[in-house]
Amino acid sequence: MKKSHLPVKKSILSRALFTSAIIFSLCFVTSCSDDDEDPDPVVEEEVITTITVTLTSAGSPDIILESKDLDGDGPNAPVITISGNLVANSTYAGSIELLNETESPAEDITEEIEEKDEEHQFFFTPSGSVSGVTYTDQDGNGNPIGLSFSLTTGDAGSGALQITLRHEPKKPNDGSLNDAGGETDIAQNFSVTVE
């Protein structure tokens, strides 16, 4: 039954085998790997690279606290610069600016926070000679935002200011991070000297 087909099959097959093997191996070695276009780089969004806190007080120089992390989630840690020492027993008016410097020109993220102020809040944790922080701005519902605030210093010494930006926190909250929940967009700690 199968006998009659076989010799025919064999000759066709061996010829086809030869050609296919050549084409197959050629393809495997060369063409398959290089016919794809290069992928496009990802245009990242929601990136905040830089937070700049400006503290002003009548009669003393402005103090700039800045944290800049140009490689985002990359291995380099943020670079923190503090322009000078704070004056003891003073009150500073503070304001915060956020930038995405991976784009050129840099994108101002502060505007986005202002637009969606009900979904955001900064939290301040002062310690040491930084004696207190109070909010001086409000969102549409009368809850604090923290883009502008007032900072008071105590006696001379060292202190720190921890600044956390949360999006979609519980608002209003009791002012603590635990109660507010939400997602952390920024968490930076600035060590300062008060003199």
Partner 1 sequence: MTIISVNILIMRFFIILIFTCISGNISFAQDCNSILFGEVIDFHDKTVLENATITITGKNQSTTSDKFGKFNFKTLCNGVIELEVSHPNCRTQFITITVNGNTYQKIRIEHHLEELNEVKVIGNEQKNTNSSQEDKLSKEDFEKSSGKSLGDALKNMTGVSSLNTGANIVKPVIQGLSGSRVLVLNNNTRMQDMEWGQEHAPNIDVNANQHISLIKGSAALEYGGDAIGGVIILKPLPIARTDSLYGKTQLNLSTNGRGGNISTSLTKSFESGFYLKAQGSLKRLGDIEAPEYLLSNTGIKENGISLSIGKRDFVQGWDGYYSFFKTDIGILASSHIGNTDDLITAIESPTPLIINDFSYKVDKPSQEVTHHLAKLNYYRRFTGFGKLNVQYDFQNNRRFEFDRRIGDNANNASLDLKLTTHTFSSTIQLDSSKEFEFKLGALGRFQKNFANPETRVRRLIPDYNKYDFGAFVLGEFLIQPNLTIDAGVRYDFTRMNAKKFYRKSSWEERGYDGDFSQLIINDTGTQYLVNPIFDYHNVSAMTGLQYNLKENQTLKLNLSLAKRAPNPSELFSDGLHHSAARIELGDLRIKNESSRKISLSYQLNSQKWGFVLAPYLNSIKNFILAEPNDLQFTIRGSFPVWSYRQTNALLLGTDFSLYTNWTSKIRTNHKFSYVKGTDESTNIPLINIPAANLNNSISYSNIKWNNFIVTLESQYVFEQKRFPPNITVFSPQEQREKELNINTPPPAYHLLSFDASSKFSIQKKNDLSIGLNITNITNTNYRDYLNRLRYFVNNQGRNISLRLIYNY
Binding site residues, partner 1, CB under 8 A: 2-3, 6, 9-10, 13-14, 16-17, 20-21, 23-24, 27-28, 31-33, 35-36, 38-46, 48-51, 67-78, 102, 112, 116, 119, 125, 127, 160, 162, 164, 166-168, 177-178, 181, 183-189
First to last CA, the chain: 105
CB of 132 to partner 1, least distance (A): 17
Q: Which is nearer to partner 1, 61 or 71 (CB)?
A: 71
CB of 57 to partner 1, least distance (A): 25
Cα dihedral: 138, 171, 109, 92 (round 10): 50
Q: Which is nearer to partner 1, 17 or 64 (CB)?
A: 17
Q: Which is nearer to partner 1, 1 or 58 (CB)?
A: 1
**Cα→Cα distances 69→48, 49, 105, 143, 177, Å:** 8, 5, 16, 29, 23
CB of 176 to partner 1, least distance (A): 10
Q: Which is nearer to partner 1, 3 or 105 (CB)?
A: 3
CB of 85 to partner 1, least distance (A): 20
The Cα–Cα gap between 189 and 161 comes to 6
CB atoms < 10 A from the CB of 88, how many? 14
Strands 148-153 and 91-100: antiparallel
